[in-house]
A and B are shown apart, each in its own frame.
Chain A
């Protein structure tokens, strides 16, 4: 088991991570979510010892990782999008190199590399060096390297960046196999909630370096708002905010910006908005603009943060 406890990292006086703790078991797929700058990459870098963290301990199977680098034999990582392998070699040559760098070689490794190479759809590009691959295929080549020696723990920082739908699908299958067949534990950062939802058993949400939520996907989803209604009235005077509040069934959150005269309502089910719009129509309230849109994952975090604070 990979255990992170009390992890903190400061830049100057700003916390990139503050007292973050979680575990990752073999055979488990865990998502690390959060808006830009929330500390996901910092967490992954800390586990790989690419940065020196200020406080906290990271242990692998009970052994602290601080004193020796030997634990890296059991860790594979795709860091910072694509491109993090040797551009002058082909994907397979890279995989061979990085496997041996970790101390793994032989026919079993080669067989594994060949299988993954096909599964990732890289076979038709087998002659090209990584430099000549497209962004998505570079990303796949980096994945091939990280998985080549079947490390016990795999860290993927935004693995879906630049991948098309079909490839994301294939990637899901491969990741599930890693967990189910090879009993590998995977930590995946992503902004793609649909992707995460399909494969992850648990999620961890970071917000401004702090752990905001830890639990399974459905628990997170039940906490997050799904839609936002944005309303701009023509006349500040007729803003009947108090009476409008009563029109929202169930869970919702209203925020008002006095400067722009925009009222934002976050809510959960689309029907919730019908009564509200009906009311506006009945009262002949003149509106400049009205928008209803599903929240992006990042916006949903923000709403979640606000509701956590209350």
Chain B
């Protein structure tokens, strides 16, 4: 971990948010409205059924999905979405290596999105006077442990993009795919546990939503899932990075 890189990325985010304050503010307001909408819309429906659990579940699913998109996007936006010609070349000149830079950027993005979503969730709860039974710190703790799996997955996609270009189309498809990932149950260990991020969501669901007792072996599955996908991502990306450098494709963006 290089603190100066993390700080640099946080500062970059701040600069960009401030420069594009309109997009930033309208984005935040949109999320706030979605929360408020969820609360009011579902509340009427839920109260009829006398089941407060499903509101928590829905909000939980929404947070999971937005977090998963943010974690995946934190890696891919640098390489796939944000392909300004030549900017990428300069990023490859990072003395700690490009992968390290991307990981720091992704960490900075995830920290910011956690921070923002939590604040907005609380504002929405206060505004609608509807207090969810979700322990945010624990939930985000678990999510941050699970996020590296999506980061690794993003790195694999970026590696492919570096050499084959034109992978943007996969992006739209992936948004839906992430919704699926967030809905699956990967605990206790089953085939779904092999998919990125699934054990993490499942653990968060168990501990935070269902308030079942915490099981150590489940945490180990989450950590293993993260470590394996991140490792796979770094190895795959490094492989494609070399290939791109052989063919001189980095500057060709």
Contacts and interface: CB of A to CB of B under 8 A. Distances in A.
A103 B97 CA distance: 12
B86 A79 contact: yes
Contacts of A88: 15-16, 19-20
Interface residues of chain B: helix, strand, loop or mixed (majority): helix
B87 A50 contact: no
Contacts of B245: 49-52
A79 B251 contact: yes
A189 B182 CA distance: 52
Interface in B224-241: none
Contact of B242 (A42, A52, A73, A77): A52
B85 A83 contact: yes
A100 B4 contact: yes
A57 interface: no
Given A82-B86, A89-B12, A101-B5, 8 more contacts: A50-B248, A52-B245, A52-B246, A84-B85, A85-B86, A86-B87, A100-B5, A105-B4
Given A84-B89, A86-B87, A103-B4, A69 B96 contact: yes
A266 B89 CA distance: 41
Contacts of A83: 84-87
Given A73-B95, A79-B251, A80-B251, A101 B85 contact: no
Interface string B6-48: 0110011001100110000000000000000000000000000
Interface residues of B, number: 31
B89 A80 contact: yes
Contacts of B93: 48, 50, 72, 75, 77, 101-102
Interface residues of A, number: 38
Contacts, number: 99
A87 B87 contact: yes
A301 interface: no
Interface of A: 11, 42, 45, 48-52, 69-73, 75, 77, 79-90, 93, 96-98, 100-103, 105, 129, 145
21 contacts: A45-B251, A48-B89, A49-B245, A50-B248, A69-B95, A69-B97, A79-B251, A80-B251, A83-B85, A83-B86, A85-B87, A97-B8, A97-B11, A97-B12, A97-B15, A100-B4, A100-B7, A101-B8, A101-B91, A102-B94, A129-B19
